């Protein structure tokens, strides 16, 4: 694997937008049956009578799609060595069959590790947007990266 992105590349203000991924009705139902079998995720007819008025994707699926878009966009080309977790995750708008999703990653802050001079942490705002440029999911979290040149 060739590393393209190191900790030094993720400076505050850095923004990356990915290509899109379309979710089909089949994608939504398949995921929901396995991981989030609520009626408005698994049954298109019953979902019409729900507060959502139709089938919607699980927020967890939307987050998983965002993660895949991140991996394909830049993470698999980076020196990432993990994450201490997500500080905030918001399901903002329903995702419906046919929605085209993309990820926008924005660096909020970056700091060198105080304990490990070969690493640094980056605080990101990750947003999943639909084809109408509406944010459907928002996350705030950190990732740890190896440094190009340890201090």
What pLDDT score was predicted for residue 2?
A: 87
Look up tokens 């987050």; give the residue: 63
Q: Is residue 12 one of the residues assigned to a domain?
A: yes
Looking only at the bridges linking them, the beta strands covering 100-112 and 119-129 are antiparallel
Q: Show the domain range for 30.
A: 7-146
Q: Is residue 2 one of the residues assigned to a domain?
A: no
Read off the pLDDT of each residue in 4-12 and give the average, rounded to a whole number: 97
Q: Is residue 16 one of the residues assigned to a domain?
A: yes
Q: Is residue 118 one of the residues assigned to a domain?
A: yes
Look up tokens 């009626």; give the residue: 39
Q: Is the pLDDT of residue 27 over 90?
A: yes
Read off the pLDDT of each residue in 115-143 and give the average, rounded to a whole number: 97
pTM: 0.95
Read off the pLDDT of each residue in 105-130 and give the average, rounded to a whole number: 97
Least-confidence region, from 12-16, 107-111, 145-149: 145-149
Residue 1 pLDDT level (bands cut at 50, 70, 90) = confident
- CA dihedral of residues 46, 51, 55, 58 (deg, nearest 10): -120
Total residue count of the chain as it appears in this document = 151
| Cβ 20 vs Cβ 100: under 8 Å | yes
Per-residue pLDDT tens digits for 38-51: 999 999 999 999 99
What pLDDT score was predicted for residue 144?
A: 98
Q: Is the pLDDT of residue 113 over 80?
A: yes
| CA gap 113, 118 in Å, rounded | 8
The dihedral built from the CA positions of residue 140, 94, 75 and 13, taken in this order, carries a sign that is negative
What pLDDT score was predicted for residue 149?
A: 83
Look up tokens 């605080």; give the residue: 123
| Cβ 23 vs Cβ 97: under 8 Å | yes
Strands in the chain per DSSP E: 15-17, 21-22, 85-91, 100-112, 119-129, 135-146
What pLDDT score was predicted for residue 54?
A: 98
Q: Is residue 151 one of the residues assigned to a domain?
A: no
Q: Is residue 91 one of the residues assigned to a domain?
A: yes
Return the CATH number at 87: 3.10.129.10
Residue 15 pLDDT level (bands cut at 50, 70, 90) = very high
Q: Is residue 133 one of the residues assigned to a domain?
A: yes
Q: Is residue 49 one of the residues assigned to a domain?
A: yes
Provide the number of structural domains found in the chain.
1
């Amino acid at each position: 694997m060739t590393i393209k992105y190191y900790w030094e590349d993720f400076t505050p203000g850095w923004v990356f937008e990915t290509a899109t991924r379309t979710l089909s009705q089949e994608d939504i139902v398949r995921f929901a049956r396995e991981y989030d079998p609520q009626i408005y995720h698994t049954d298109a007819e019953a979902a019409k009578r729900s507060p959502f008025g139709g089938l919607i994707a699980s927020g967890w699926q939307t987050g998983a799609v965002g993660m895949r878009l991140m991996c394909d966009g830049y993470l698999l080309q980076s020196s990432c060595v993990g994450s201490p977790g997500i500080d905030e995750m918001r399901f903002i708008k329903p995702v419906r069959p046919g929605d085209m999703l993309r990820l926008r990653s924005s660096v909020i802050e970056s700091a060198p590790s105080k304990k490990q001079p070969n690493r640094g942490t980056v605080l990101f705002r990750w947003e999943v947007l639909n084809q109408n440029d509406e944010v459907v999911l928002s996350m705030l979290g950190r990732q740890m990266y190896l440094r190009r040149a340890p201090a």
